[in-house]
Amino acid sequence: MVANQSRLRTLGNHLFLSIFALIMVYPLIWLFFASFKANNEIFGSLSLLPKEVIWDSYSKGWKGSGQFTFGVFLWNTFKMVIPVVAFTLISSVFVAYGFARFRFPMKNILFAIMISTLMLPNAVIIIPRYILFNEFGWLNSYLPFTMPALFACYPFFIFMLVQFFRGLPRELDESATIDGCNSFVVLVRILLPLCKPALFSAAIFQFIWTWNDFFNSLIYINSVKKFTLALGLRMSLDISSAAKWNEVMAMSMVAIIPCVIIFFFAQKYFVEGIATTGLKG
């Protein structure tokens, strides 16, 4: 009797999770099938499957405005996102390691100031940052994205890595120090391999946030040849009086694919990192 109740409970949980997963994935499914529909059918029919399949929406959408294809926008996005992710991981690791393992004057005050910047909305800092980057001559380039990442201007990832470092026993550092390792070697050879889940989590978050960033790209980039995918998709709605929604849906599907692939390939480390970050041993 107990075994049957446990089996029914497990079946109910699986059924509930399956329904919930279908609800969450349904917008992506609709987006995929909408990319094969005609314009009048996308918003004029509740049917998921297209009545008449439009096969050339991807090829026409990829051509973009004619002057620049979506291949240019895709390459621009990679040129911006990959350095941002790499610099974020490198700088955040060093800053988090310092806060988690070293003692220095005003450590707690500086950490509190860093955490307090998380509460600043982007609307408050966008004008000062724009003026600063304009003075540096960084506008219409990817430097407003890569340089803050290089100098650890993302406190969320620093906080996440600090919590992970604090969960690693200090005996590891002490043992390595006895063996003749300095602080840098301890970080690279001892702690970083153990921080792989947290690093994957930070990389996934930063990749998706930067990849989908529209507002900051719109503010700092004004040349079409440097547009990212988000700006390219928006521009495709402005170049004609009547938007070709099936082509927009097709390119939106293309823009989503890299994020989905990276998430599923790194899902194991992502879940592990979220589950263990913040636990102290």
Give the count of alpha carbons within 13 A of 106, CB side only. 4
Rounded Cα gap, residues 88 and 153, in angstroms: 8
* CA proximity to 166, closest of 261, 101, 107: 101
Q: Please say whether the structural domain 65-170+196-276 has been given the CATH code 3.40.50.970.
A: no
- Residue 200 has a CB neighbour count (10 Å cut-off) of 21
For residues 154-176, one letter each, b for 16 or more C-beta atoms within 10 angstroms of the residue's C-beta and e for the rest, the string is bbbbbbbbbbbbbbbeeeebeeb
Q: Decide which of 154 and 244 is more confident.
A: 154
The residues spanned by each domain of the chain are 65-170+196-276
- Residue 212 has a CB neighbour count (10 Å cut-off) of 16
- Is residue 236 scored above 70 in pLDDT? yes
Angle ∠(275,121,108) on CA atoms, nearest 5: 60
- Poorest-pLDDT segment among 31-40, 64-73, 199-208: 64-73
Q: Which residues contact 76 (CB under 8 A, 6 or more apart)?
A: 226, 227, 228, 229
- pLDDT-derived band at 280 (thresholds 50, 70, 90) equals very low
pLDDT, average across residues 126-131: 93
User: Taking a C-beta distance cutoff of 8 angstroms, is the pair 65, 235 a contact?
Assistant: yes
Out of 26-30, 85-89, 214-218, 234-238, give the one with best mean pLDDT: 85-89
pLDDT, average across residues 160-188: 87
* CA proximity to 81, closest of 200, 209, 202, 201: 209
- pLDDT-derived band at 279 (thresholds 50, 70, 90) equals very low
